[in-house]
Amino acid sequence: MARADAAVGDIAINPIPVMPPEDSSPSTEDRIREAIARPHNMGEMTDADAVGTVGSPECGDMVRMWLKFREKDGQKLIDRASFQSFGCQTAIAVASVATELLAGKTLDEAMAMDATALSRPLGPLPPMKIHCGQMVEGALREALEAEKGTPAAAPSAPGNAGDTLIGSFAAAQAPLKQGGRIRVVKHENS
Ligand code: FES
């Protein structure tokens, strides 16, 4: 039987170790960096049909999402989505990929998307950053609930006391077409 390490004359031939292929797919950190460097759909949508805003007293960040709808086969779909994030880079990355994912979704399909689904193209978020995805989810839900006319959970008035960023942001904003309120999102682990 042939042996890979058989000696040929006085020369021993050792088998060449086969290395497992390196995983060349980008890490979550790489994808977040890329999304931050080239965010998609960032900025106010002046002809939006719905808008949702959330703020976090814990981190002081805010995320706002605008949605534009269209009808297709008697169903309302999200035609496009845009966002602004005030303060948090990871929220920018999640919102960027989320707004891409939302195009073409029905309202029910969009409502079923949680932070994990909205951030999936980035890979699993580090535990400390899961909250950033939940902020994007919260802004989306606020906009969808405003469109459906259903009351959002635990809404708070603009200018929530104790959060100067939220207060100053609300004061600086012109009245919104819809969903003109800011929902305060608490960190789940706080
Ligand atoms: Fe609060 Fe990212 S740390 S949204």
CB-based pocket (< 6 A), ligand 1? 56, 59, 61, 88, 90-91, 131-132, 135
- How far does residue 58's CA lie from ligand 1's centre (Å)? 9
CATH number at residue 83: 3.90.1010.10
What pLDDT is attached to residue 147? 86
Read off the DSSP letter of residue 122.
G
Dihedral of CA 109/131/85/125: which sign? negative
pLDDT (tens digit per residue) in 107-123:
999 999 999 999 999 99
- Let me know if residue 5 belongs to a domain: no
Question: Is 50 exceeded by the pLDDT of residue 179?
Answer: no
Task: Please answer whether residues 48 and 58 qualify as being in contact, where contact means their C-beta atoms are separated by less than 8 angstroms.
Answer: no
Domain that holds residue 172: 28-184
pLDDT band, very low/low/confident/very high, at 170 (cuts 50, 70, 90):
low
pLDDT band, very low/low/confident/very high, at 23 (cuts 50, 70, 90):
low
pTM of the model: 0.74
- Let me know if residue 137 belongs to a domain: yes
Question: Is 70 exceeded by the pLDDT of residue 181?
Answer: no
- Let me know if residue 118 belongs to a domain: yes
